[in-house]
Chains A and B, each alone.
Chain A
Amino acid sequence: MPSIAFQFSPADASAFSRRVAKISGQNIQACYQCRRCTAGCPAVGDEGNFSPDMLIRLVNLGDKSAAINNEMVWKCVTCYTCGTRCPNNIHTSRIVDTLKKMVKESGVEPLQPNIAYFHSSFLESGVRWGRVNEAEFMGVYEMKNILHLAKQKKFKEIYDEIFQLSQFVLRVFKQGRMHFGFLTSKGHKEIKRLKRQHQTSSKV
Protein backbone atom coordinates (compact mmCIF):
# COMPACT_ATOMS: atom_id res chain seq x y z
CA MET A 1 0.00 0.00 0.00
CA PRO A 2 1.55 3.33 -1.02
CA SER A 3 1.81 5.83 1.78
CA ILE A 4 0.43 9.32 1.48
CA ALA A 5 2.39 12.27 2.75
CA PHE A 6 -0.20 14.30 4.61
CA GLN A 7 0.14 18.03 4.80
CA PHE A 8 -0.14 19.28 8.35
CA SER A 9 -0.31 22.93 9.23
CA PRO A 10 -1.65 23.49 12.73
CA ALA A 11 -3.15 26.91 11.98
CA ASP A 12 -5.22 25.69 9.02
CA ALA A 13 -5.98 22.38 10.68
CA SER A 14 -8.26 23.70 13.35
CA ALA A 15 -10.04 26.11 11.01
CA PHE A 16 -10.76 23.48 8.35
CA SER A 17 -11.68 20.78 10.81
CA ARG A 18 -14.00 23.14 12.70
CA ARG A 19 -15.69 24.17 9.48
CA VAL A 20 -16.31 20.56 8.42
CA ALA A 21 -17.55 19.80 11.94
CA LYS A 22 -19.95 22.73 11.83
CA ILE A 23 -21.43 21.97 8.41
CA SER A 24 -21.66 18.22 8.97
CA GLY A 25 -22.88 18.54 12.55
CA GLN A 26 -20.33 15.93 13.62
CA ASN A 27 -17.91 16.16 16.52
CA ILE A 28 -14.94 15.11 14.39
CA GLN A 29 -12.33 15.93 17.05
CA ALA A 30 -13.74 13.12 19.19
CA CYS A 31 -12.34 10.53 16.75
CA TYR A 32 -9.61 8.44 18.41
CA GLN A 33 -8.98 6.25 15.35
CA CYS A 34 -10.42 2.98 16.66
CA ARG A 35 -11.37 2.10 13.07
CA ARG A 36 -14.71 0.46 13.84
CA CYS A 37 -16.09 2.54 10.96
CA THR A 38 -13.54 1.06 8.60
CA ALA A 39 -14.10 -2.49 9.82
CA GLY A 40 -17.75 -2.23 8.78
CA CYS A 41 -17.37 -0.11 5.66
CA PRO A 42 -18.54 -2.00 2.53
CA ALA A 43 -16.81 0.52 0.24
CA VAL A 44 -13.37 -0.31 1.62
CA GLY A 45 -12.18 -3.10 -0.63
CA ASP A 46 -8.95 -4.91 -1.31
CA GLU A 47 -7.64 -2.18 -3.55
CA GLY A 48 -7.48 1.52 -2.98
CA ASN A 49 -5.97 3.51 -0.22
CA PHE A 50 -8.94 5.05 1.51
CA SER A 51 -11.12 4.42 4.54
CA PRO A 52 -13.49 6.43 6.75
CA ASP A 53 -10.99 6.76 9.62
CA MET A 54 -8.32 8.01 7.22
CA LEU A 55 -10.69 10.63 5.88
CA ILE A 56 -11.44 11.90 9.37
CA ARG A 57 -7.71 12.04 10.10
CA LEU A 58 -7.14 14.12 6.95
CA VAL A 59 -9.83 16.55 8.00
CA ASN A 60 -8.42 16.83 11.51
CA LEU A 61 -4.94 17.40 10.11
CA GLY A 62 -6.37 20.24 8.07
CA ASP A 63 -5.24 18.87 4.70
CA LYS A 64 -8.17 20.21 2.73
CA SER A 65 -6.80 19.36 -0.68
CA ALA A 66 -6.14 15.72 0.25
CA ALA A 67 -9.54 15.48 1.95
CA ILE A 68 -11.64 16.76 -0.94
CA ASN A 69 -9.64 14.68 -3.40
CA ASN A 70 -9.94 11.51 -1.35
CA GLU A 71 -11.52 8.48 -3.01
CA MET A 72 -13.68 7.85 0.04
CA VAL A 73 -15.71 10.96 -0.81
CA TRP A 74 -16.97 9.26 -3.97
CA LYS A 75 -16.78 5.58 -3.02
CA CYS A 76 -19.06 5.96 0.04
CA VAL A 77 -22.36 4.15 -0.65
CA THR A 78 -24.24 6.01 2.11
CA CYS A 79 -25.09 2.86 4.06
CA TYR A 80 -24.56 4.62 7.44
CA THR A 81 -22.83 1.61 9.01
CA CYS A 82 -19.88 3.77 10.14
CA GLY A 83 -22.13 6.13 12.06
CA THR A 84 -24.17 3.47 13.83
CA ARG A 85 -21.01 1.71 15.01
CA CYS A 86 -18.88 4.71 16.00
CA PRO A 87 -18.32 4.79 19.78
CA ASN A 88 -18.22 8.59 19.56
CA ASN A 89 -21.34 8.85 17.43
CA ILE A 90 -19.58 10.40 14.45
CA HIS A 91 -21.52 9.93 11.22
CA THR A 92 -18.74 9.82 8.66
CA SER A 93 -21.31 9.82 5.85
CA ARG A 94 -22.21 13.38 6.89
CA ILE A 95 -18.55 14.32 6.60
CA VAL A 96 -18.46 12.72 3.16
CA ASP A 97 -21.58 14.69 2.16
CA THR A 98 -19.95 17.89 3.43
CA LEU A 99 -16.76 17.25 1.47
CA LYS A 100 -18.79 16.60 -1.69
CA LYS A 101 -20.30 20.06 -1.29
CA MET A 102 -16.85 21.54 -0.65
CA VAL A 103 -15.58 19.98 -3.90
CA LYS A 104 -18.34 21.83 -5.73
CA GLU A 105 -17.71 25.07 -3.85
CA SER A 106 -13.92 24.93 -4.53
CA GLY A 107 -14.52 24.45 -8.23
CA VAL A 108 -12.16 21.47 -8.47
CA GLU A 109 -13.10 18.55 -10.67
CA PRO A 110 -14.63 15.71 -8.63
CA LEU A 111 -12.57 12.50 -8.58
CA GLN A 112 -15.56 10.66 -10.09
CA PRO A 113 -17.53 13.39 -11.91
CA ASN A 114 -20.29 11.00 -13.00
CA ILE A 115 -21.24 10.30 -9.38
CA ALA A 116 -21.60 14.04 -8.80
CA TYR A 117 -23.71 14.31 -11.98
CA PHE A 118 -25.89 11.42 -10.85
CA HIS A 119 -26.88 13.01 -7.54
CA SER A 120 -27.27 16.54 -8.88
CA SER A 121 -29.43 15.26 -11.75
CA PHE A 122 -31.62 13.33 -9.34
CA LEU A 123 -32.21 16.27 -7.04
CA GLU A 124 -32.74 18.68 -9.93
CA SER A 125 -35.41 16.40 -11.39
CA GLY A 126 -37.16 16.19 -8.00
CA VAL A 127 -37.13 19.96 -7.58
CA ARG A 128 -37.99 20.73 -11.21
CA TRP A 129 -41.17 18.63 -11.28
CA GLY A 130 -41.85 18.09 -7.60
CA ARG A 131 -41.32 14.39 -8.23
CA VAL A 132 -38.41 12.51 -9.81
CA ASN A 133 -39.15 11.21 -13.27
CA GLU A 134 -36.87 8.22 -13.68
CA ALA A 135 -36.49 8.37 -17.46
CA GLU A 136 -35.95 12.13 -17.54
CA PHE A 137 -33.48 12.10 -14.67
CA MET A 138 -31.51 9.24 -16.20
CA GLY A 139 -31.47 11.01 -19.55
CA VAL A 140 -30.12 14.22 -18.04
CA TYR A 141 -27.54 12.28 -16.01
CA GLU A 142 -26.30 10.32 -19.03
CA MET A 143 -26.13 13.48 -21.13
CA LYS A 144 -23.93 15.26 -18.56
CA ASN A 145 -21.82 12.15 -18.20
CA ILE A 146 -21.35 11.57 -21.94
CA LEU A 147 -20.61 15.25 -22.64
CA HIS A 148 -17.91 15.15 -20.00
CA LEU A 149 -16.41 11.98 -21.49
CA ALA A 150 -16.57 13.49 -24.97
CA LYS A 151 -14.60 16.56 -23.83
CA GLN A 152 -11.87 14.18 -22.69
CA LYS A 153 -12.13 12.21 -25.93
CA LYS A 154 -12.93 9.00 -24.03
CA PHE A 155 -14.89 7.40 -26.85
CA LYS A 156 -14.50 3.81 -25.70
CA GLU A 157 -16.07 4.78 -22.36
CA ILE A 158 -18.93 6.51 -24.16
CA TYR A 159 -19.60 3.39 -26.21
CA ASP A 160 -19.56 1.19 -23.09
CA GLU A 161 -21.85 3.58 -21.24
CA ILE A 162 -24.41 3.66 -24.05
CA PHE A 163 -24.22 -0.11 -24.50
CA GLN A 164 -24.76 -0.81 -20.78
CA LEU A 165 -27.56 1.71 -20.57
CA SER A 166 -29.43 0.45 -23.62
CA GLN A 167 -29.25 -3.11 -22.32
CA PHE A 168 -30.64 -2.01 -18.97
CA VAL A 169 -33.40 0.07 -20.55
CA LEU A 170 -34.36 -2.85 -22.79
CA ARG A 171 -34.64 -5.17 -19.78
CA VAL A 172 -36.71 -2.65 -17.86
CA PHE A 173 -38.97 -2.23 -20.86
CA LYS A 174 -39.36 -5.98 -21.45
CA GLN A 175 -40.33 -6.62 -17.84
CA GLY A 176 -42.94 -3.91 -17.91
CA ARG A 177 -41.08 -1.81 -15.37
CA MET A 178 -40.87 1.25 -17.62
CA HIS A 179 -43.25 4.07 -16.77
CA PHE A 180 -44.63 6.22 -19.55
CA GLY A 181 -46.59 8.89 -17.73
CA PHE A 182 -45.08 12.02 -16.27
CA LEU A 183 -45.12 12.71 -12.53
CA THR A 184 -45.53 16.20 -11.14
CA SER A 185 -46.39 17.82 -7.84
CA LYS A 186 -47.50 21.42 -7.45
CA GLY A 187 -45.17 21.46 -4.48
CA HIS A 188 -42.21 22.23 -6.76
CA LYS A 189 -43.21 25.92 -6.73
CA GLU A 190 -43.31 26.06 -2.93
CA ILE A 191 -40.01 24.23 -2.67
CA LYS A 192 -38.24 26.49 -5.18
CA ARG A 193 -39.59 29.62 -3.52
CA LEU A 194 -38.52 28.42 -0.07
CA LYS A 195 -35.07 27.53 -1.37
CA ARG A 196 -34.62 31.03 -2.85
CA GLN A 197 -35.81 32.60 0.38
CA HIS A 198 -33.33 30.46 2.32
CA GLN A 199 -30.44 31.46 0.04
CA THR A 200 -31.20 35.15 0.43
CA SER A 201 -31.49 34.98 4.21
CA SER A 202 -28.31 32.89 4.66
CA LYS A 203 -26.29 35.40 2.60
CA VAL A 204 -27.04 38.22 5.04
Chain B
Amino acid sequence: MDIAYYPGCSLKQSSALYDLQTKKVFSKLDINLKEIEDWNCCGATSASKTDDFLSIAMPARNIGIAESAGFSEIVIPCSACYAKTLVAKEKLNNDSELKSEINSGFAKKIQGNLKVSTILEVLLASIEAGSLSNKLEKKYEGLKPVCYYGCMMTRFAYDVPSPDDVENPQGMEKVLKKIGLHPVDWNFKTVCCGASASMNDAGASFALMAKIMKDAVARGANCFVVTCPMCQMNLDAYQDEFCSQNNITQRLPVFFITELLGLALGMSIKDLQIDRHFVESTSILNLQDKVVKERDTNE
Protein backbone atom coordinates (compact mmCIF):
# COMPACT_ATOMS: atom_id res chain seq x y z
CA MET B 1 0.00 0.00 0.00
CA ASP B 2 1.36 3.44 -1.01
CA ILE B 3 0.59 6.43 1.17
CA ALA B 4 1.82 10.02 1.01
CA TYR B 5 4.08 11.03 3.88
CA TYR B 6 4.67 14.50 5.33
CA PRO B 7 7.50 14.44 7.91
CA GLY B 8 7.63 18.16 8.72
CA CYS B 9 10.64 20.15 9.93
CA SER B 10 10.98 18.55 13.35
CA LEU B 11 11.30 15.00 11.95
CA LYS B 12 14.12 16.17 9.72
CA GLN B 13 16.04 17.75 12.60
CA SER B 14 15.82 17.26 16.37
CA SER B 15 13.38 14.34 16.03
CA ALA B 16 15.09 12.67 13.06
CA LEU B 17 14.91 9.41 15.01
CA TYR B 18 11.11 9.51 14.74
CA ASP B 19 11.34 9.86 10.95
CA LEU B 20 13.66 6.87 10.77
CA GLN B 21 11.53 4.73 13.11
CA THR B 22 8.32 5.59 11.28
CA LYS B 23 9.83 4.51 7.97
CA LYS B 24 11.21 1.27 9.44
CA VAL B 25 8.04 0.26 11.24
CA PHE B 26 5.75 1.13 8.33
CA SER B 27 7.91 -0.77 5.88
CA LYS B 28 7.78 -3.83 8.15
CA LEU B 29 3.99 -3.55 8.08
CA ASP B 30 4.09 -3.34 4.26
CA ILE B 31 3.00 0.28 4.07
CA ASN B 32 5.09 2.29 1.59
CA LEU B 33 5.59 5.82 2.78
CA LYS B 34 6.16 8.20 -0.12
CA GLU B 35 7.57 11.48 1.14
CA ILE B 36 5.93 14.25 -0.88
CA GLU B 37 8.24 16.31 -3.05
CA ASP B 38 9.50 19.73 -1.96
CA TRP B 39 7.09 20.01 0.98
CA ASN B 40 7.20 23.19 3.04
CA CYS B 41 6.76 24.11 6.71
CA CYS B 42 3.12 23.96 7.87
CA GLY B 43 3.50 27.19 9.88
CA ALA B 44 2.53 25.36 13.10
CA THR B 45 0.77 27.32 15.84
CA SER B 46 3.10 30.27 15.28
CA ALA B 47 1.45 31.03 11.93
CA SER B 48 -2.05 31.21 13.38
CA LYS B 49 -0.76 33.61 16.04
CA THR B 50 0.99 35.81 13.49
CA ASP B 51 -0.65 35.53 10.08
CA ASP B 52 -4.04 33.95 9.36
CA PHE B 53 -3.52 33.82 5.61
CA LEU B 54 -0.20 31.99 5.80
CA SER B 55 -1.55 29.57 8.41
CA ILE B 56 -3.88 28.25 5.68
CA ALA B 57 -1.69 28.83 2.62
CA MET B 58 1.40 27.02 3.94
CA PRO B 59 -0.22 23.64 4.69
CA ALA B 60 -2.43 24.08 1.61
CA ARG B 61 0.58 23.93 -0.67
CA ASN B 62 1.49 20.51 0.74
CA ILE B 63 -2.05 19.25 0.17
CA GLY B 64 -1.78 20.36 -3.47
CA ILE B 65 1.53 18.54 -3.90
CA ALA B 66 0.15 15.29 -2.48
CA GLU B 67 -3.05 15.45 -4.53
CA SER B 68 -1.22 16.30 -7.75
CA ALA B 69 0.98 13.26 -7.24
CA GLY B 70 -2.18 11.15 -7.19
CA PHE B 71 -2.37 10.30 -3.49
CA SER B 72 -5.70 9.92 -1.73
CA GLU B 73 -4.27 9.77 1.80
CA ILE B 74 -1.40 11.46 3.62
CA VAL B 75 0.03 10.46 6.99
CA ILE B 76 1.49 13.15 9.25
CA PRO B 77 3.18 11.90 12.46
CA CYS B 78 3.71 15.35 14.05
CA SER B 79 0.49 16.47 15.75
CA ALA B 80 1.06 20.17 15.02
CA CYS B 81 1.62 19.54 11.30
CA TYR B 82 -1.33 17.14 11.25
CA ALA B 83 -3.72 19.60 12.89
CA LYS B 84 -2.68 22.53 10.69
CA THR B 85 -3.00 20.51 7.49
CA LEU B 86 -6.36 19.03 8.47
CA VAL B 87 -7.78 22.43 9.42
CA ALA B 88 -6.45 24.06 6.23
CA LYS B 89 -8.11 21.39 4.08
CA GLU B 90 -11.42 21.77 5.90
CA LYS B 91 -11.35 25.58 5.77
CA LEU B 92 -10.59 25.60 2.05
CA ASN B 93 -13.44 23.19 1.40
CA ASN B 94 -15.75 25.65 3.18
CA ASP B 95 -14.37 28.78 1.51
CA SER B 96 -14.22 28.54 -2.27
CA GLU B 97 -13.02 32.13 -2.64
CA LEU B 98 -9.97 31.52 -0.45
CA LYS B 99 -9.38 28.22 -2.21
CA SER B 100 -9.26 29.81 -5.66
CA GLU B 101 -7.07 32.63 -4.35
CA ILE B 102 -4.57 30.12 -2.96
CA ASN B 103 -4.79 27.90 -6.03
CA SER B 104 -4.01 30.91 -8.22
CA GLY B 105 -0.59 31.17 -6.58
CA PHE B 106 0.47 27.53 -6.43
CA ALA B 107 1.63 25.31 -9.26
CA LYS B 108 0.06 22.21 -7.67
CA LYS B 109 -3.64 22.89 -7.24
CA ILE B 110 -5.70 21.79 -4.26
CA GLN B 111 -8.77 19.65 -4.87
CA GLY B 112 -9.70 19.06 -1.24
CA ASN B 113 -10.28 15.30 -1.31
CA LEU B 114 -7.07 14.20 0.40
CA LYS B 115 -7.58 12.20 3.57
CA VAL B 116 -5.29 13.66 6.25
CA SER B 117 -4.38 10.94 8.76
CA THR B 118 -2.58 10.70 12.05
CA ILE B 119 0.08 8.03 12.47
CA LEU B 120 -2.33 6.18 14.78
CA GLU B 121 -5.15 6.02 12.25
CA VAL B 122 -2.86 4.41 9.69
CA LEU B 123 -1.21 2.04 12.18
CA LEU B 124 -4.54 0.94 13.63
CA ALA B 125 -6.15 0.29 10.26
CA SER B 126 -3.15 -1.75 9.20
CA ILE B 127 -2.88 -3.70 12.46
CA GLU B 128 -6.60 -4.38 12.55
CA ALA B 129 -6.30 -5.77 9.03
CA GLY B 130 -3.76 -8.25 10.40
CA SER B 131 -0.44 -6.70 9.36
CA LEU B 132 1.21 -7.71 12.65
CA SER B 133 0.41 -11.40 12.40
CA ASN B 134 3.51 -13.59 12.57
CA LYS B 135 5.76 -10.55 12.72
CA LEU B 136 5.89 -10.00 16.48
CA GLU B 137 9.19 -11.33 17.75
CA LYS B 138 9.47 -9.88 21.23
CA LYS B 139 7.28 -9.21 24.21
CA TYR B 140 7.81 -6.78 27.06
CA GLU B 141 8.36 -7.64 30.67
CA GLY B 142 7.41 -5.10 33.32
CA LEU B 143 6.62 -2.14 31.07
CA LYS B 144 3.76 0.02 32.38
CA PRO B 145 3.16 2.86 29.93
CA VAL B 146 0.76 5.77 30.09
CA CYS B 147 -0.38 7.01 26.69
CA TYR B 148 0.06 10.74 26.31
CA TYR B 149 -1.75 12.34 23.34
CA GLY B 150 -1.25 16.02 24.04
CA CYS B 151 -3.40 18.67 22.37
CA MET B 152 -3.29 18.69 18.65
CA MET B 153 -4.25 15.16 17.77
CA THR B 154 -7.85 15.54 18.95
CA ARG B 155 -8.48 19.25 19.47
CA PHE B 156 -8.69 21.92 16.78
CA ALA B 157 -9.63 25.60 16.81
CA TYR B 158 -12.03 24.88 13.97
CA ASP B 159 -14.89 22.44 13.50
CA VAL B 160 -13.30 19.33 12.07
CA PRO B 161 -14.16 15.76 12.97
CA SER B 162 -11.66 14.50 15.54
CA PRO B 163 -9.87 11.24 14.62
CA ASP B 164 -10.34 9.88 18.16
CA ASP B 165 -12.33 10.68 21.28
CA VAL B 166 -11.57 14.32 22.12
CA GLU B 167 -11.25 13.90 25.90
CA ASN B 168 -10.37 10.23 26.20
CA PRO B 169 -8.65 8.97 23.04
CA GLN B 170 -7.94 5.25 22.77
CA GLY B 171 -5.86 4.83 19.61
CA MET B 172 -2.51 4.34 21.31
CA GLU B 173 -3.96 1.97 23.88
CA LYS B 174 -5.44 -0.14 21.08
CA VAL B 175 -2.10 -0.35 19.27
CA LEU B 176 -0.15 -1.19 22.43
CA LYS B 177 -2.61 -3.93 23.42
CA LYS B 178 -1.90 -5.60 20.09
CA ILE B 179 1.74 -5.99 21.10
CA GLY B 180 0.86 -7.35 24.52
CA LEU B 181 1.20 -4.19 26.59
CA HIS B 182 -1.34 -3.00 29.12
CA PRO B 183 -1.32 0.79 29.28
CA VAL B 184 -2.18 2.35 32.63
CA ASP B 185 -5.31 4.51 32.76
CA TRP B 186 -4.74 8.09 33.93
CA ASN B 187 -6.08 11.63 33.91
CA PHE B 188 -3.59 13.60 31.83
CA LYS B 189 -3.83 12.00 28.38
CA THR B 190 -4.81 15.20 26.65
CA VAL B 191 -3.63 17.88 29.08
CA CYS B 192 -1.21 20.33 27.45
CA CYS B 193 2.54 20.00 28.18
CA GLY B 194 3.17 23.60 27.09
CA ALA B 195 5.70 22.74 24.39
CA SER B 196 5.21 26.08 22.64
CA ALA B 197 6.07 27.88 25.90
CA SER B 198 9.15 25.94 27.04
CA MET B 199 11.48 28.27 25.14
CA ASN B 200 9.75 31.54 25.97
CA ASP B 201 7.86 30.98 29.24
CA ALA B 202 9.65 28.05 30.85
CA GLY B 203 7.99 28.42 34.25
CA ALA B 204 4.53 27.96 32.75
CA SER B 205 5.57 24.97 30.68
CA PHE B 206 7.45 23.28 33.54
CA ALA B 207 4.46 23.64 35.86
CA LEU B 208 2.25 21.89 33.31
CA MET B 209 4.72 19.05 32.80
CA ALA B 210 5.15 18.56 36.54
CA LYS B 211 1.39 17.97 36.87
CA ILE B 212 1.47 15.44 34.03
CA MET B 213 4.48 13.68 35.53
CA LYS B 214 2.98 13.52 39.03
CA ASP B 215 -0.17 11.78 37.81
CA ALA B 216 1.83 9.29 35.72
CA VAL B 217 4.01 8.44 38.73
CA ALA B 218 1.03 8.23 41.10
CA ARG B 219 -0.65 5.73 38.75
CA GLY B 220 2.41 3.49 38.89
CA ALA B 221 3.45 4.03 35.27
CA ASN B 222 7.11 3.65 34.37
CA CYS B 223 7.14 5.35 30.98
CA PHE B 224 5.22 7.67 28.65
CA VAL B 225 4.24 6.79 25.11
CA VAL B 226 3.66 9.63 22.65
CA THR B 227 3.13 10.27 18.96
CA CYS B 228 3.94 13.99 18.86
CA PRO B 229 7.60 15.04 18.49
CA MET B 230 6.89 18.33 20.31
CA CYS B 231 5.54 16.47 23.36
CA GLN B 232 8.42 13.98 23.23
CA MET B 233 11.11 16.65 23.09
CA ASN B 234 9.47 18.73 25.78
CA LEU B 235 8.81 15.95 28.32
CA ASP B 236 12.19 14.32 27.66
CA ALA B 237 14.66 17.22 27.30
CA TYR B 238 13.33 19.25 30.24
CA GLN B 239 12.44 16.37 32.57
CA ASP B 240 15.42 16.79 34.88
CA GLU B 241 14.69 20.49 35.25
CA PHE B 242 10.95 20.39 35.82
CA CYS B 243 11.21 17.39 38.14
CA SER B 244 13.92 18.82 40.35
CA GLN B 245 12.03 22.13 40.54
CA ASN B 246 8.93 20.27 41.69
CA ASN B 247 10.46 17.69 44.05
CA ILE B 248 9.81 14.72 41.79
CA THR B 249 12.47 12.07 42.23
CA GLN B 250 11.35 9.66 39.51
CA ARG B 251 12.36 9.93 35.88
CA LEU B 252 10.27 8.33 33.14
CA PRO B 253 11.41 7.59 29.58
CA VAL B 254 9.26 9.17 26.87
CA PHE B 255 8.88 6.66 24.04
CA PHE B 256 7.55 7.27 20.58
CA ILE B 257 4.93 4.66 19.71
CA THR B 258 7.18 3.60 16.84
CA GLU B 259 9.89 2.62 19.33
CA LEU B 260 7.70 0.20 21.27
CA LEU B 261 6.28 -1.19 18.02
CA GLY B 262 9.70 -1.49 16.40
CA LEU B 263 11.21 -3.37 19.32
CA ALA B 264 8.28 -5.82 19.41
CA LEU B 265 8.83 -6.36 15.69
CA GLY B 266 12.40 -7.44 16.41
CA MET B 267 14.31 -4.24 15.71
CA SER B 268 17.11 -3.26 18.06
CA ILE B 269 17.60 -0.22 20.28
CA LYS B 270 20.42 0.87 17.94
CA ASP B 271 18.25 0.33 14.83
CA LEU B 272 15.64 2.61 16.31
CA GLN B 273 18.11 5.09 17.87
CA ILE B 274 16.38 4.95 21.25
CA ASP B 275 19.73 5.90 22.78
CA ARG B 276 19.13 9.46 21.56
CA HIS B 277 16.68 10.19 24.38
CA PHE B 278 17.55 12.63 27.17
CA VAL B 279 16.17 10.54 30.03
CA GLU B 280 17.89 7.16 30.23
CA SER B 281 15.43 4.94 28.39
CA THR B 282 17.00 1.61 27.56
CA SER B 283 17.45 -0.19 30.90
CA ILE B 284 13.68 -0.45 31.37
CA LEU B 285 13.30 -2.29 28.07
CA ASN B 286 13.28 -5.89 29.17
CA LEU B 287 12.43 -7.82 26.04
CA GLN B 288 11.77 -11.55 25.92
CA ASP B 289 11.54 -13.75 22.88
CA LYS B 290 7.94 -14.28 22.02
CA VAL B 291 7.09 -17.97 22.01
CA VAL B 292 6.00 -18.62 18.48
CA LYS B 293 2.85 -20.63 18.36
CA GLU B 294 -0.03 -21.16 16.02
CA ARG B 295 -1.58 -17.73 16.00
CA ASP B 296 -5.27 -17.27 16.35
CA THR B 297 -5.93 -14.62 13.74
CA ASN B 298 -9.08 -13.52 15.51
CA GLU B 299 -7.10 -12.54 18.55
Contacts and interface: CB of A to CB of B under 8 A. Distances in A.
B140 interface: no
Contacts of A118: 46, 196, 199-200
B45 A187 contact: no
B192 A77 contact: yes
A78 B159 contact: no
Interface stretch (B48-56, B220-228, B253-261, B288-296): B48-56
Contacts of A79: 151, 155, 191-192
B276 A91 contact: no
A84 B106 contact: no
Given A112-B200, A179-B16, A190-B107, A84 B155 contact: yes
Select the residue from A84, A96, A177, A190 with max chain B CB neighbours within 10 A.
A177
B102 to A, nearest CB: 7
A178 B159 CA distance: 37
A50 interface: no
Interface residues of A, number: 63
B125 interface: no
A141 B200 CA distance: 9
Contacts of B69: none
A131 B202 contact: no
A185 B39 contact: yes
A183 B152 CA distance: 24
Given A112-B201, A141-B199, A198-B53, A191 B14 contact: no
A84 B166 contact: yes
Select the residue from A118, A119, A179, A183 with max chain B CB neighbours within 10 A.
A119
Given A80-B157, A172-B14, A195 B57 contact: yes
Contacts, number: 178
Nearest to A126: B41
B47 interface: yes
B44 A187 contact: no
A134 B14 CA distance: 8
Contact of B277 (A75, A100, A175, A194): A175
Interface of A: 23, 42-43, 45, 74-75, 77-81, 83-84, 89, 91, 93-94, 96-97, 100-101, 112, 114-115, 117-120, 122-123, 125-127, 130-134, 138, 141, 145, 164, 168, 171-172, 175-179, 183, 185-188, 190-191, 193-195, 197-198, 201
Interface of B: 9-10, 12-16, 38-41, 43-54, 57-58, 61, 101-102, 104-107, 151-152, 155-159, 166-167, 190-192, 194, 196-197, 199-202, 204-205, 207-208, 233, 237, 273, 276-278
Given A132-B41, A175-B277, 17 more contacts: A43-B204, A45-B207, A75-B204, A77-B205, A81-B192, A83-B157, A84-B166, A96-B49, A97-B49, A101-B52, A117-B200, A119-B49, A130-B40, A171-B237, A183-B13, A186-B38, A198-B57
